Structure 1
Amino acid sequence: MRLMKGLTALTAVMAVTGCSTTYYGEEEPQANPTEAVTNVTPPQRDPADLQVLFWNDQQRNARFRRMEDWFAGLEVAPGVEPRKLAHGKPLSPKIAAQIRSFMKETNATGVMVLEDGQLRFEEYRLGFDKSQRWTSFSVAKSFTSTLLGAAVRDGFITSLQDPVTKYVHGLVGSAYDGVTVEQLATMTSGVAWNEDYTDPNSDVAATNHFVLEYGADAIVTQMRGLKREATAGEKWVYKTGETNLLGLVVENAVGLPLAEYAKSKIVDPAGFEGGMFWMTDPRGGNIGGCCLSLRLSDYARMGQFVLEGGPDVVPDGWFAKAGGPQVSFGKGFGYGYQWWTYPDGKFGAQGIFGQAITLVPEKKLVAAIVSNWPTASSNETRKRWVKLIEKVAASN
């Protein structure tokens, strides 16, 4: 069967206008497909209106909660047995007030805090509520990483030391020769990549050209043309394109789209209360580095599932490695397998415009936030969020 090929994440959001759900693996599908996954095909849109980075505040507020109205994807049914979130002791009025202030100052739409699996804080703003979903952006990367762990446990991926080219044959003869699956997961391939969305000559900006020119073959065509800038394993560079390759590795190995595999490996075992929407690219496979949508409570349930170790889904000890600093940036910050690591053992998933799942294992605490920041990224605001969660964890 024909090799599956992917599409770079955020630019895919700007480029995808529709697709089928046909997907292809290296072999016949090996995992059991589920009927609880359906195709979503939105109305045809003007491509100019799909430029997410250029949506105004009002458009973001309305569309971030209804991305399925704008982009094609797969809809996954809720968990078979939704996890109940029992109410625990409310956070102190002082801490709760600080969270509300942060939400107002940063244009957050929802925050939920769990401790030891119990609900301690839940708040919504800007017309968002517990029944609605919100887009994830790069929080999806950590879901893809979890599915990588599942594929390892299930035996679809033999080892993280396998070469990427074992699962994506189209990269044979490229700068990805000799790069391992683990190096892809830690973004240490040593392959040069420019992810500056303000630079019209960047690699991420060039993705639109490759999509228009090569369609379903865009990602492998583009990625195989990249040059090496460092020895594999020696240099970290953030590359959403490589997370899409990681998703492609999983899809080719398992024989299912990420969303379909996630039904039995994340949605059901984590006990999601609502459905999940995950965008697709021109192949009909899912965008590994971006763009699934969940209820706020299900982002928190994902955090709780991870905190508990993903029992019977990923290898034992998987999240100690995945959520540990495989790459260190100094002062306690680093990067694991598609998870960001913070001081004192904290780690989390994060996406542009203020989306995050933050875990404090020592306190058995999970904090989920969804937002509509006025700018796509802000290191200062991100650090403020981590500091705030430190205060929450230290409180009674």
Structure 2
Amino acid sequence: ARGYGPEGRWTSFSVAKSVTSTLVGAAIKDGYIKSIDDPVTRYIPDLAGAGYDGVTIRQLLTMTSGVKWNEDYTNPNSDVARMFAEAVPAGQDPTVFYMRKLPRESDPGVKFVYKTGETNLIGVLVRRATRKSLSAYLEEKIWKPYGMERDAFWMTDQTGAEVSGCCLSVSLRDYGRIGQMALEGGKGIVPAGWFADATKAQVSFPGGGYGYQWWVPAGGVFAAQGIFGQSIIVDPARKLVMVTSAAWPRASDRALAQERMAFAMKVQAAAKE
């Protein structure tokens, strides 16, 4: 539909978050980042003196920084809508410029609040730690080693830096390879045990939990998910990867999400047989 076929690419929206978090694991394996328990300000010192003082990389990965954020896609005044709408002084990173103005609403590590801006910060952190663009590092660590068929496309901000919280466009089969990489544990890409930690519930809430930028719904699966219906669902027990590209009429739709999960469960049942 909509001209999208095997040769094409489709935007991931927040499926990209799970890819960005994997680059953190790669940077740890490569020695660019010492630990996810390092303070964020060690790698982004221009956040010092703001709400991110004392926040660790782990707390960014699990969306538990304690910094206040509004992710309402229908509200033009929400943080997610305004993040790149303001003029940025020359020489400053747009993400850091916006995020350092946000107030603290709880202690770090206590409260889960979904924040695309924080995944954008993770991208800034990886760029600064590796001194490479995210696209170049993604190509080096995942795209070439894992035999992706098609080039990816990453939307950039006004400075030309990748918007790492969303907007990585990938072909359907290569989305499947991303899921397969996670299923197989990312051997040679991330430290041993990275995906075991990244894809388990580091924080829990009704209906599931959240790992390192991976959703952990009930039923022994983990998933990368994006608005308008994008998903990679991985079922380790059945060695099964399911990918959906979609164009839902709304950013979030409970009924369509339930239909997608019902379909996934039917595929799981068929695989079991």
Which of the five TM-score ranges fits, normalised by the shorter chain?
Answer: over 0.9
Match of 1:338 in 2: 213
Would you say 1:193 and 2:69 are equivalent positions? yes
Asked whether the 8 Å contact 1:324–1:345 carries over to 2, the reply is no
Following TM superposition, the consecutive aligned residue runs of length 4 or more in structure 1 with deviations greater than 4 angstroms are: none
Measure, in 2, the Cα distance between the counterparts of 1:175 and 1:302: 33
Deviation, 1:255, is 0.6
Measure, in 1, the Cα distance between the counterparts of 2:194 and 2:122: 17
Measure, in 1, the Cα distance between the counterparts of 2:159 and 2:241: 35
Measure, in 2, the Cα distance between the counterparts of 1:317 and 1:208: 35
Could you tell me which of 114, 133, 141 is aligned with 2:9?
A: 133
Residue 107 of structure 2 aligns to which amino acid in structure 1?
Answer: T
Provide the secondary structure at the position in 2 that maps to 1:345. Answer: coil
Relative to 1, partners in 2 of residues 1:178 and 1:271: Cα closer, same or farther, differing over 3 Å? same
Deviation, 1:282, is 2.3
Deviation, 1:197, is 2.6
Deviation, 1:213, is 4.2
Deviation, 1:257, is 1.0
Would you say 1:393 and 2:273 are equivalent positions? no
Match of 1:306 in 2: 182
Match of 2:237 in 1: 362
Provide the secondary structure at the position in 1 that maps to 2:223. Answer: strand
Q: How does 1:42-57 map to 2 (within 5 A)?
A: none
Measure, in 1, the Cα distance between the counterparts of 2:76 and 2:117: 16
Measure, in 2, the Cα distance between the counterparts of 1:144 and 1:296: 18
Match of 2:170 in 1: 294
Match of 1:179 in 2: 55
Residue 64 of structure 2 aligns to which amino acid in structure 1?
Answer: T
Residue 114 of structure 2 aligns to which amino acid in structure 1?
Answer: Y
Provide the secondary structure at the position in 2 that maps to 1:394. Answer: helix
Measure, in 2, the Cα distance between the counterparts of 1:292 and 1:209: 20
Match of 2:250 in 1: 375
Measure, in 2, the Cα distance between the counterparts of 1:177 and 1:270: 37
* Residue-pair matches, total: 270
Provide the secondary structure at the position in 1 that maps to 2:33. Answer: coil
* Aligned Cα root-mean-square deviation (Å): 1.4
Residue 73 of structure 2 aligns to which amino acid in structure 1?
Answer: Y
Residue 351 of structure 1 aligns to which amino acid in structure 2?
Answer: G
Measure, in 2, the Cα distance between the counterparts of 1:127 and 1:217: 35
Over residues 177-197 of structure 1, what are the superposed CA-to-partner deviations in whole Å (9 max), with x where a residue is unaligned? 000000000000001011113
Match of 1:16 in 2: none
Measure, in 1, the Cα distance between the counterparts of 2:194 and 2:88: 39
Match of 1:146 in 2: 22
Deviation, 1:126, is 4.3
Measure, in 2, the Cα distance between the counterparts of 1:393 and 1:217: 44
Choose between structure 1 and 2 for higher RCO, CA contacts under 8 A separated by at least 6 residues.
Answer: 1
Q: Which runs of 5+ in 1 are unaligned?
A: 1-124
Provide the secondary structure at the position in 2 that maps to 1:269. Answer: coil
Provide the secondary structure at the position in 1 that maps to 2:67. Answer: coil
Asked whether the 8 Å contact 2:84–2:157 carries over to 1, the reply is no
Could you tell me which of 245, 249, 258 is aligned with 2:121?
A: 245
Asked whether the 8 Å contact 1:189–1:235 carries over to 2, the reply is yes
Deviation, 1:200, is 3.2
Q: How does 1:140-289 map to 2 (within 5 A)?
A: 140-210=16-86, 212-214=87-89, 216-289=92-165
Measure, in 1, the Cα distance between the counterparts of 2:59 and 2:16: 18
Measure, in 2, the Cα distance between the counterparts of 1:157 and 1:371: 35
Asked whether the 8 Å contact 2:73–2:251 carries over to 1, the reply is no
| Deviates most, 227-236 or 377-386 | 377-386
Over residues 132-153 of structure 1, what are the superposed CA-to-partner deviations in whole Å (9 max), with x where a residue is unaligned? 1111111110100110110011
Provide the secondary structure at the position in 2 that maps to 1:306. Answer: helix
Residue 269 of structure 2 aligns to which amino acid in structure 1?
Answer: A
Measure, in 1, the Cα distance between the counterparts of 2:6 and 2:254: 28
Over residues 331-360 of structure 1, what are the superposed CA-to-partner deviations in whole Å (9 max), with x where a residue is unaligned? 4x1111001111122001111111111100
Measure, in 2, the Cα distance between the counterparts of 1:152 and 1:288: 18
Would you say 1:351 and 2:226 are equivalent positions? yes
Asked whether the 8 Å contact 1:183–1:189 carries over to 2, the reply is yes
Asked whether the 8 Å contact 2:84–2:95 carries over to 1, the reply is no
Asked whether the 8 Å contact 1:137–1:355 carries over to 2, the reply is yes
Residue 42 of structure 2 aligns to which amino acid in structure 1?
Answer: K
Which structure: larger Rg? 1
Relative to 1, partners in 2 of residues 1:130 and 1:335: Cα closer, same or farther, differing over 3 Å? same
Q: How does 1:51-130 map to 2 (within 5 A)?
A: 125-130=1-6
State TM-score, norm by structure 2: 0.95
| Percentage of identical aligned residues | 53
Provide the secondary structure at the position in 2 that maps to 1:132. Answer: coil
